[in-house]
Amino acid sequence: MPAERPDEVPPGAFGPRVIALIALLHGRYRISNRELVVLLEMVWLLPISLGSVAELQQTASAALEGAQDEVQAAITADAHVNADETSWREGRRKPWLWVAVGSLATLFLLQYGRGKKQRQTLLGEGYAGRVTSDRLSAYNSLDPTRRQLCWAHIVRNLRGRAEARGPWQADASALLALAEEVLVIWALYREGSISRSLMKGMSQAIAAAMWELVEQGQQQSNTLGSWCADLVPRWKALWTFLDVEGIEPTNNAAERALRPAVLWRRGCYGTQSEGGSRFVERMLTVSATCQQQKRPLLPYLVEAITAFWAGQPAPKVLLSNLTP
């Protein structure tokens, strides 16, 4: 009778460090699987097939399932998150890659939709914190006082209308100038040139001027009128950053988090299966969260894979906890 395999012995031909390296090179540094096969043999004298590379990535994905759940729980409990989404490709399907950046962790989810249901899955149906986002309608059911609209998107929206010829051009240009001034004032505050009270007072003066133009603009039956009409019920969501310290007027945190994912999609053309998509979201989640936690990624991957083979829970990815 063959002896039982000890927990510390890998069940296949490759150990946890090799699998962690494959996951790291593909999931963090975006090296394609075909290039991985060449690289592993050239640098580490490790011959491996393309099919084995894909199979070992699924092992890493299974090992990171617990970390994914841990991060999702942390996002749901966070008082404020930045959320965004971008298109993806999964074979012939076109899901959306959602991201939520919290104070301690970052969560990625690939979902087949871009609506309220997917937003609730990302943040939790009963999420009670504040959300910074763009003007996507998926967030419209949130109380405007619990939402911060991204001013960089507002500026881009208005610039497009100001540059388009039409009877709305003058009003759009006036709104654009005021919106740009909001970001200038915020930059002065961030660099310490003005106090928070002065930043708030100057911004409130701009808010009064903008509201007059928006209120008048919604009466127009053109592209600016529809934009103003859509903004009116969410007006308070523009100014949450004035009342809540720690919230910024832009969604830069979520947009920065998405950049590596966009580069991965462009270089590897997305994924071919649901299993591949789970690997993508879990690797992006763990990579971004380890970076937030100032934790080296490769040792964590080795620990997670070793624990998975031993039938133990995944090691905690968060080194610090949210305070009540």
- The one-letter code for the residue type at 207 is A
Instruction: Yes or no: say if 168 and 226 are a contact pair by the CB < 8 Å rule.
Output: no
b/e 164-191 (16+ beta carbons within 10 angstroms → b): eeeebeebbebbbebbebbeebbeebee
Instruction: Yes or no: say if 100 and 83 are a contact pair by the CB < 8 Å rule.
Output: yes
pTM of the model: 0.92
Res 99: pLDDT: 98
DSSP letter assigned to residue 93: B
Distance CA 140, CA 85 (A): 15
Instruction: Yes or no: say if 249 and 148 are a contact pair by the CB < 8 Å rule.
Output: yes
Res 321: pLDDT: 57
Average pLDDT by stretches of 10, the chain with 324 residues: 69 88 95 94 95 95 97 97 96 95 97 96 94 96 96 95 86 95 97 97 97 91 90 96 96 96 88 93 98 96 95 90 45
Distance CA 188, CA 223 (A): 32
Distance CA 8, CA 160 (A): 60
Distance CA 10, CA 57 (A): 15
Closest CA relative to residue 131, chosen from 110, 102, 98, 109: 102
Please, which residues have CB within 8 angstroms of residue 156's CB and are 6 or more apart in sequence? none
Res 23: pLDDT: 97
Res 322: pLDDT: 44
DSSP string, 112-167: S--SHHHHHHHH-TT--SEEEE-S-GGGTTS-GGGEEE-HHHHHHHHHHHHHS-ST
Place of tokens 């988090």: 257
CA end-to-end distance (rounded Å), the chain: 55
Res 268: pLDDT: 83
How large is the C-alpha radius of gyration of the chain?
23
Listed as own residue / partner, the contacts of 265-271 with beta carbons closer than 8 Å and 24 or more positions apart are 265/86, 265/87, 265/88, 265/89, 265/97, 267/30, 267/32, 268/30, 268/32, 269/89, 270/88, 270/89, 270/90, 271/88, 271/89, 271/90, 271/91
Phi-psi region of 91 (alpha: psi -120 to 50; beta: other; left: phi over 0): left
Res 107: pLDDT: 98
In the chain, where the domains are located: 151-250
